[in-house]
Structure 1
Amino acid sequence: MKTAFFTPLLILCMLSACGCQTRLSDPVTVTGYKLNTYVQISSYINVSRSVLNGCLDLCDTYEQLCSRTLESSTLYAVNHHQTDEIPAELGELIATGLDYCRISDGAFDITIGSVSQLWDFTAEQPAVPDAAAIANALQYVDYTKVELTPLENGNYRITMPEGTILDLGAIAKGYIADKIKDYLLAHDITSAMINLGGNVLCVGGKSDSKDFTVGVKKPFTQSNELLLTLNLRDCSVVSSGTYERYFYENDTFYHHILNPATGYPYDNRLTDVTILSAVSLDGDCLSTTCFALGLDDGLALIESLDNIEAVFVTTDGSIYYSSGMSRYLNE
């Protein structure tokens, strides 16, 4: 599972927009280090920079809601049993995560936190956790033991066993991107790009007749070599890959997408899954879910869903597309 709010870099080719509003050839852009990554919001509608700064403020607001590691966050309080009543937004996010746990039959599991906290892929010298510690942590990984009960005040009651730790790092950035899009549209910004450290959400298009162009970086390349480029409008692009955070120990490769059944990284011949969806939260959930399921089952899941497309990349460099992906490819 993704353990922080981090996804692979997507190269943005953000071009000008035109239409009934005042459009810009060069966007108004704000940047910041939020959610443990670099965030960039660019509007092609002439707008006050203070409005865009509100997007950065939203990143802080939602980090306070759903960060596993931030001691002041609501999720931290839940994981440490300091509260069992949570606001509606956090309840709805957890409910969505649990839905994808069920869809994958536990191959994706938001209760992976007891295990993911043992793995530190950002350390100066990352190391494989002690096997006994992983085995102990695995006893707390079971999404079926998390229960949400709606309350009359609109909040939720959450119950889960002592020792269970929710980790929403695999889904939170998609949720936040959707909230930022809602905020932009509320301020009449209909042409924009939201980039939350590689989770990209296009608001509108380049113009009424032209799409934005987004490039997906090729796995394990040090340069900006692209795997593919996409033509997108009102669409999210989210990737999960073994090249995001990894290290070697005793010549063995370890990456950050953990198998809830073993506590160790998945070994399923995949290096990347990229999802296209209208809702970024769906893309975020599906990128990790499909990676966990593997090529055959992951592709079958995508084909069963409406208006969702995907690209799978295997360790030998082979690329597999869902049936409707071709209409987005910039060839």
Structure 2
Amino acid sequence: MGTFAFITLDQKYSFATSIFFQTLKQVEASLSSFPNGLVYRLNHHRCIQTDPIVQDAIEKSLYYYKRSDGYFDITIGSLTKQLFGFGTSQEKIPTIKDLKQATLGVDGIHMDQNSICLDKAIMIDLGGMGKGYAIDLAAARLKKMGVQQAVFGLSGDIRCLGECQVKVQNPFVSETVAIIQSDSKDFAVSTSGTYRRYIKDTRYNHLIDPKSRRSQKLIASVTLAGSRQNAFLDAMATAIGVMPLKKAWMFAHSLKNIDYLIILENGTMIKHGNRISITKPTGFILFPSTVSAYIRLLQQTAE
């Protein structure tokens, strides 16, 4: 999946290590938009035979699309894969004209019992939830095997079975800015950020608003934490990361029982929830009661 994976568990559960990595390989074979992945084949041949993992991931993504008011849109692949070429040897910055003319729309995805097909010019990119999906499947398999204590992750998606602490990375330099303390037997954390993939500099990052078709400029990273599925948190963090700032904050705050930490490009931190403790601030720390006033100030300054 083009990133790092890890797993930490007690010696008595060592048998689960191979299952974990086998699961990641299985999901990658289905959801990867790079050569040898089924999604790559779907994007380039328009149709594939139904695959349970691809179908399930797309069905979940269509729900996330509705849940996020269209800001989580897997047909963003028409931009991220076809125009920008993120993660390939053909990375480039497309023209505004090309961005405007690109075809997006979840109505261009068609599934039945036998096949999954895309309309002409539609390309999908499951990178905004695929890692979380892989972690969810691994968690389900490990729990079924009786694993009760483990910490494992794939890039910014981390799962805790049992008690754990998770460090949140500074999006500007290599250091920890916050610690998240789990409070349940099954706990998930997901971080999405502009610093993870970009062309030339973070102005042309992979977190692209499907409505404006522009890369995110104000939000550097979004971390969500709670007793939810990683795929859900992964998708919601991606959606928040591409939203206009006011909508991003209001949407994050609407997620029930989810703690969040949003770090802006100017270093300002917006925090909610007792499970997140900031250890090294990157700038001012805002809490929900002060965010609205701060956003109004930013808007007045920009005018």
Q: Percent identity?
A: 25
Q: Evaluate the alpha carbon distance shift between residue 261 and residue 82 of structure 1 in structure 2; reply closer, same or farther with a 3 A threshold.
A: closer
Any conservation in 2 of the 1:45–1:191 contact (CA below 8 Å)? no
2:126 is aligned with 1:162? no
Q: Structure 1, residues 32-70: CA drift from partner, whole Å, max 9, x if none? A: xxx111211111251345x31121111111111111113
Structure 1 equivalent of residue 79 of structure 2:
115
Query: How far 1:123 sits from its partner (Å)?
Result: 6.6
Matched, 1:188 2:146: yes
Matched, 1:295 2:245: yes
Q: Report the secondary structure of 1:193's partner residue.
A: strand
Deviations 1:198-226 (A, max 9, x none): 31111111xxxxxx1111011110x3x22
Indicate which of 20, 23, 26 corresponds to 1:55: 20
Unpaired stretches in structure 2, ≥5 consecutive residues:
280-303
CA RMSD of aligned residues (A): 2.5
In 1, the alpha carbon distance for the partners of 2:207 and 2:146 equals 38
Instruction: Please give the alpha-carbon distance, in whole angstroms, between the structure 1 residues aligned to 2:91 and 2:38.
Output: 28
Q: Deviations over 1:212-246 (max 9, x none)?
A: 1111011110x3x2221111142111111111123
Distance 1:107 1:101 in 2: 6
For structure 1, the 5+ residue unaligned runs are 1-34, 206-211
Match of 2:52 in 1: 88
- TM-score by length of structure 1 reads 0.75
What is the deviation of 1:270?
A: 1.0
Tell me what 1:29 maps to: none
- Are the counterparts in 2 of residues 106 and 143 from structure 1 also a CA contact under 8 Å? no
**Any conservation in 2 of the 1:74–1:86 contact (CA below 8 Å)?**
no
Equivalence map 1:134-213=2 (5 Å): 134-136=99-101, 138=102, 140-149=103-112, 151=113, 157-205=115-163, 212-213=164-165
Mapped to 2, the partners of 1:259 and 1:244 lie a distance apart of 16
Which residue of 191, 198, 203 maps to 1:246?
198
Cα 1:297–1:186 change in 2 (3 A) is: same
Please say if residues 132 and 230 of structure 2, whose CA atoms lie closer than 8 Å, have aligned partners that are also in contact: yes
SS of 1:169 mapped into structure 2: coil
Q: What CA distance in whole angstroms lies between the structure 2 residues aligned with 1:295 and 1:262?
A: 14
Verify the 8 A CA contact 2:46 2:120 in the aligned structure 1.
no
Contact 1:172/1:281 (<8 A) preserved: yes
1:329 aligns with 2:292: no
For 1:147 and 1:95, locate their aligned partners in 2 and report how far apart those are by CA, in whole Å. Answer: 11
Q: Which residue of 2 aligns with 1:256?
A: 206
Contact 1:214 / 1:229 at 8 angstroms: preserved in 2?
A: yes
Q: Tell me how many residue pairs correspond in the alignment.
A: 275
Paired position in structure 2 for 1:9: none
1:318 aligns with 2:268: yes
Say whether residues 1:38 and 2:41 are aligned partners.
no
For 1:271 and 1:228, how far apart are their aligned partners in 2?
15
CA distance in 2, matches of 1:144, 1:121: 24
Tell whether the 8 Å contact from 2:46 to 2:118 is kept in structure 1 after alignment.
no
Aligned match for 1:69, one of 25, 28, 34: 34
Separation in 2, partners of 1:48, 1:104: 38
Contact in 1 for aligned 2:165/2:181 (Cα 8 Å): yes
Structure number with greater CO (CA < 8 Å, separation at least 6) is 1
**Aligned AA (1:66):** L
1:274 aligns with 2:237: no
**1:104 match:** 68
What amino acid maps onto 2:277 in structure 1? L
